[in-house]
Amino acid sequence: KKKNGFKISVEISRKEGLYRQNYCGCIYSKREAEMRRKRRRTHD
């Protein structure tokens, strides 16, 4: 987004206590997000 729009939306979400999912909602994106999460756990 322009002018830090994404960053601003994340900050507003945190302040307001809103949930932000880390994928678009389709099954393919969800699987990819789960795989990334698993990889991070094994690397930490």
The verdict on pTM exceeding 0.75 is no
Supply the pLDDT for residue 17.
Answer: 96
Supply the pLDDT for residue 21.
Answer: 84
Supply the pLDDT for residue 44.
Answer: 60
Total count of residues recorded for the chain:
44
Q: What is the pLDDT of residues 1-44, one digit of tens each?
A: 689 998 999 999 999 999 988 788 899 999 998 999 899 888 76
Residue 32: exposure state from Cβ atoms within 10 A (0-12, 13-18, ≥19): middle
Supply the pLDDT for residue 15.
Answer: 97
